[in-house]
Amino acid sequence: MKYLIFGIGLLLILFSCGKEMHEPGNLVPETVDEDASLPSARINGTLLHTEATGNPEDPLLVVVHGGPGADYRSMLNAAVFAGHGFYVVFYDQRGSGLSKREPRSQYEGESAVQLFIDDLHALIEYYKVSETQKVFLLGHSWGAMLATAYINQHPDRIAGAVLSEPGGFTWTQTSEYLSRSNKIRFFAEALNNAVFAEQIIAGRTEHEVLDYKASFFANYENAPGNTIGNKGHYPQWRQGAVAFQALIDNAEKYNFDFTSNLSAFTASVLFLYSENNKAYGASWAATVAAPYPNAQLMEVRDCGHEMLYFGWEDFFPKALRYLNEMK
Amino acid sequence: MKNTILSVGLLLAVAQALFAQDINWRTEEQHKNVLQAYFGADYSSYYGLAYGRLVQIKGQSLAIGSELTVPFGSDIVDDWRLRTSVQTELLRHNLFALTLKPALIVRRYASPMARIYNLGADITVLYGYQGTRWGLVTLANYDRSISAHLAHRMLKEDYPAIQDGWYNTRSGNFKFGMRAGYSGTSWSGFLVLGKHFGQNFRDNPTLPFFADLSLQKRF
């Protein structure tokens, strides 16, 4: 027995040499505070990865990505709106994508979602060049939820919104949707692909390691046969694992309701759902959109949930027509 | 949320062959060989086969063996875990015993995102009642991942500067649970249930529980 223990000890020493997983840049790209060449802005006490394209005096179109904890890379198609008279703003939310990582404690209080609403507010103020400049929001998934949370608090500051498949506007609604969209296939390869690595990379605290590990998990929803109709993997920069997990824990603990004041927003909203997302569909779109007094529902053909990437050909003309009408 | 949904979904079906080759040292007839089939869930669902041999070294009974665990899924060779262990009773008082089980582990993981080879070690401590027929013991395990070789696939498309190669993983998971067992003349059955945690008790596995059901033939 003592030889075995000695042998294990020796192997432990021998195999403890190699690169460090948490070294910036090794496994995940550096964030804006680590790489000064990335476009960034100091917003509401943090450093966000953000860029804008178009004429700064045109109506503002702020692109709000999903997740939480994802990034705007798969939404870059929206840059073409700049050629149609919009000043298009992209940003990675706090602690997500290539934005600066923040401690988990920032997302643990009851006001965590409010922090994201305040970030969006500060971002709009950062890019806005005049008080009369119209502001539009283009939100996808969690981003459409966050856009709605913003409209719920600031209905007079937004001229219109394009919302693509927000899970729900209350926690009850969202958890109901997630139970369908992320349905467990217990014996499926996709499950192994998502979680098997947790026995290899475990018990870590560094953002670099957690974000890297989260990339395995994030691919679960894009695996063959996925419920939400995605055709495969779509481009991403970097997961924000802490922001994602903490916000989900926060929602379970405190719940949320982004509909309490939506009746005050009388402008038209374009509400898009995808043809191939089996967990969504027209009826769920109608249910979620109901608190908006004036929502136009439209299906985006030949794609699933990630419609700004896989369904851009049908998404773009619908969104452009709406935005031109509202401009 | 995705974590939560997965956790709840897997909860009822719940150790990566952690407990294969369990030995009831009290059986009326001590055979030399042990063959064990098992299935369960921990991290993901799995099944596996284990072989062990009982030996005597300087009057000390040892069970030495290996177990191969494969997750369920369409690709049966992409992910696996090979664990080689030595098991012995350290202390015995009537029908209560303290058992120690150190092991070396080699794992392979592959997905469209990356391929990983991993070397680890774990140690399991069991304490409890073990009669000739029935047994009930508590267990604690620490599974330490030591080093991993990463080769990236789709992740390289997203981040071309990602670096393949050997990495220190320097981390692990704790498991705490119970094992119930029943032994016949030449066979035994075991049920293991428990909960596991990341070593910092924060970065925990998606599925917080584990379960393992095994059938063992001694010959």
pTM, two decimal places: 0.89
Kindly state which CATH superfamily the domain A40-184+236-326 is placed in. Alpha/Beta hydrolase fold, catalytic domain (3.40.50.1820)
Question: What residues form DSSP beta bridges with B117?
Answer: B108, B149
Chain A positions in Cβ-Cβ contact with residue B45 (cut-off 8 Å)? 186-187, 191
User: Phi and psi (nearest 5°) for A168?
Assistant: 180, 170
Helices A207-218 and A241-254 meet at what angle, rounded to 10? Answer: 70
pLDDT at res. B10: 32
pLDDT at res. A10: 62
The token pair at A53 is 């394209």
Binned at pLDDT 50, 70 and 90, residue B182 comes out as very high
pLDDT in tens, A39-52: 999 999 999 999 99
Nearest to A197 among B13, B109, B144 (CB): B109
List, in sequence order, every beta strand (DSSP E) within chain B: 33-42, 44-57, 60-71, 80-93, 96-110, 114-130, 134-152, 165-183, 187-198, 209-218
Cβ separation B147–A16 shorter than 8 A: yes
* Residue B105 near residue B85 (C-beta atoms within 8 A): no
pLDDT at res. B203: 85
Nearest C-alpha of chain B: how many angstroms from A228?
A: 13
pLDDT in tens, A228-250: 999 999 999 999 999 999 999 99
Q: How many residues does chain B have?
A: 219
Instruction: Give me the CATH number covering residue B176.
Output: 2.40.128
> What is the overall mean pLDDT for chain B?
86
Number of domains, chain B: 1
More confident residue, B199 or B11: B199
Chain B positions in Cβ-Cβ contact with residue A1 (cut-off 8 Å)? 60, 62, 86, 88
pLDDT at res. A6: 64
Distances (CA, A) of A262 to A257, A281, A298, B134: 11, 22, 20, 63
The mean per-residue pLDDT over the stretch B192-202 comes to 92
The mean per-residue pLDDT over the stretch B30-37 comes to 88
Complex-level ipTM: 0.89
> What residues does each domain of chain A span?
40-184+236-326
Q: What residue ranges of chain A have pLDDT lower than 50?
A: none
> Which range marks the domain in which residue B129 is found?
2-218
Chain A positions in Cβ-Cβ contact with residue B104 (cut-off 8 Å)? 8, 11
